Amino acid sequence: MNVHDSEQMAQILSDAGYVKTDKADRADVIIVNTCSVREKAAQKAYSQLGRLKKLREKRPGLVIGVAGCLAQEHGAGFFRRAPYLDLVLGTHNIHRLPGIIEEINNAGSRVVDTSFRESVRSLGIRTLPPDGDVSAYVTIMQGCNNFCSYCIVPYVRGREESRASGEIVDEIRFLADNGIREVTLLGQNVNSYGSTLSGDTSFPALLRMIGKIEGIDRIRFTTSHPKDLSEELAVCFADLDNLCEHIHLPVQSGSDHVLKRMKRGYTAGEYLKKIDMLRNACPDITITSDIIVGFPGEKDSDFQKTIDLMKEVRFDNTFSFKYSDRHGTASEGYDGKVEEGVKGERLSELQLLQESHSLEKNRGLEGTVKDVLIEGVSKNNDTDVTGRTRGNKIVNLAGDTGLTGKTVRVRIAQAYVHSLRGEIIQGEKCL
């Protein structure tokens, strides 16, 4: 989501006549987009800002701003931490960026804009990825009403707001007309899409509309909340040819006691039933998840339940995090805080288990033939290209940049923990 916010800021600045540069010391404007969902992400943003201080000393005319969740959280307080900043821009005000920069340049004053708006205008900023790219993000909703007890998102992104389905469909048609073949629909909780709209467009209904758009071969979405995952959505995986067989379904914990304190709204048993429902509709679906270890009050026996759930589901991949207090959230005040050392041990154990599951899942693909959408030259080896299966598995194969944006038939030859190695099947057309 943050990547797409950065793309939107780049787009409106470019529409206002600014030109992109990769060299920070040549820039007239630098905006650091930030995430505050976990302590580690926030620390990264602070050190990035620290590095810009020296640039500011060298070039007094440079405008330096901070945007995103951390900006929303701290507001004017950011100036105490980083006095060389000119701008603190909240999550609802991206569309105001060019006007604010002009204000700073003309008046020479600092600006803070962290006001929340009834209707988030940035939702409608259309971006077109660089020439040659075939994948794009499309925001379908923003904010969140769930208030999971550990999560800062509802405070820094505001209440849930869905974009009108017609506007989303128009944007995707525009992207398809401009060469985009794959769209990823973005929202904090896509399964509750439409609940703030007066019509009755549900997320599955939206997917069916997008499924009909000529030229879009692959549809992905993130993130789904398990409590709102419906049978209608599961059926879409079976019915829609262009809906990719992958779902990211954060479980967070396998212990009912912890899930209750997290205010997640489901039990481990209910989560497992949703997994069954998805696998019944689409047996080969890739399932990934997020897990937090060391939530306040998590005992060894709770953690063991998370391990048991992982063994039962056998996720293709998980993103796992040590719990960190976020300012203003309910769990900040919970008792039973878990020691850092214990969190570290639990995280290592969980990640080791996940590696074995990821490898097991990937080995199951050896010898199969998959459609792979090539994204570009591999970062590790310039005689290889890298792409993804519909199930979102990374595949490396011999090839050159001419394959970028093409979908090729690939036989999977070798499985690793985080990727697959394959060979193109010459002369075979993709389905």
- Which residues are near ligand SF4 by CB under 6 A? 144, 146-148, 151, 153-154, 188-189, 225
Using CA atoms, how far apart are residues 79 and 83, in angstroms rounded to an integer? 5
Q: Note whether 292 binds ligand 5AD by CB under 6 A.
A: yes
Least Å distance, CB 369 to ligand SF4, is 36
- Interface with ligand 5AD includes 271 (CB under 6 A)? no
The two beta strands, 384-388 and 394-398, are antiparallel
Among residues 286, 324, 386, 404, which is the contact residue for ligand 5AD, using CB under 6 A?
324
Which entry of ligand 5AD, ligand SF4, none binds 304, CB below 5 to 8 A by partner kind?
A: none
Q: Min. distance of Cβ 199 from ligand SF4 in angstroms? A: 23
Q: Determine if 250 is a binding residue for ligand 5AD (CB under 6 A).
A: yes
| Residue of this chain nearest to ligand 5AD (CB atom) | 290
For residue 229, the minimal CB distance to ligand SF4 (Å) is 12
Say whether residue 56 binds ligand 5AD (CB under 6 A): no
Which residue from 78, 193, 315, 323 is in contact with ligand 5AD, where contact means CB under 6 A? 323
Nearest-approach distance from CB 363 to ligand SF4, in angstroms:
32
Tell me which of 34, 142, 192, 252 binds ligand 5AD, using CB under 6 A: 252
Residue 276 CB, nearest approach to ligand 5AD (Å): 22
Residue 137 in the binding site for ligand 5AD (CB under 6 A) = no
Q: Is 332 in the site for ligand 5AD (CB under 6 A)?
A: no
154 binds, among ligand SF4, ligand 5AD, none (CB under 5 to 8 A by kind): ligand SF4
Does 224 bind ligand 5AD (CB under 6 A)? Our answer is no
Identify which range of 123-131, 137-145, 162-170, 320-328 contacts ligand 5AD by CB under 6 A: 320-328
Crossing angle of the two packed helices 300-313 and 340-363, in degrees rounded to 10: 10
**Segment lying near ligand 5AD (by CB under 6 A), choices 49-57, 201-209, 322-330, 339-347:** 322-330
Helix/strand/coil (H/E/C) assignment for every residue in the chain: CHHHHHHHHHHHHHHCCCCCCCCHHHCCEEEEEECCCCHHHHHHHHHHHHHHHHHHHHCCCCEEEEEEHHHHHHHHHHHHHCCCCCEEECCCCHHHHHHHHHHHHHHCCCEEECCCCCCCHHHHCCCCCCCCCCEEEEECEECCCCCCCCCCHHHHHCCCEECCHHHHHHHHHHHHHCCCCEEEEECCCHHHCCCCCCCCCCHHHHHHHHHCCCCCCEEEEECCCHHHCCHHHHHHHHHCCCECCEEECCCECCCHHHHHHHCCCCCHHHHHHHHHHHHHHCCCCEEEEEEEECCCCCCHHHHHHHHHHHHHHCCCEEEEEECCCCCCCHHHHCCCCCCHHHHHHHHHHHHHHHHHHHHHHHHCCCCCEEEEEEEEECCCCCCEEEEECCCCCEEEEECCHHHCCCEEEEEEEEECCCCEEEEECCCCCCC
Query: For residues 141-160, which are near ligand 5AD according to CB under 6 A?
Result: 150-151
User: Which of ligand SF4, ligand 5AD, none does residue 149 bind to, with CB < 5 to 8 Å depending on kind?
Assistant: none
The CA distances from residue 383 to 399, 409, 422, in Å, are 6, 18, 14
Q: Which segment (21-29, 207-215, 230-238, 318-326) binds ligand 5AD by CB under 6 A?
A: 318-326
Q: Identify what 162 binds: ligand 5AD, ligand SF4, none; CB under 5 to 8 Å per kind.
A: none
Interface with ligand 5AD includes 247 (CB under 6 A)?
Answer: no
Residue whose CB is less far from ligand 5AD, 217 or 228 = 228
Rule CB under 6 A: which residues touch ligand 5AD?
37-38, 150-151, 250, 252, 290, 292, 321, 323-324, 326
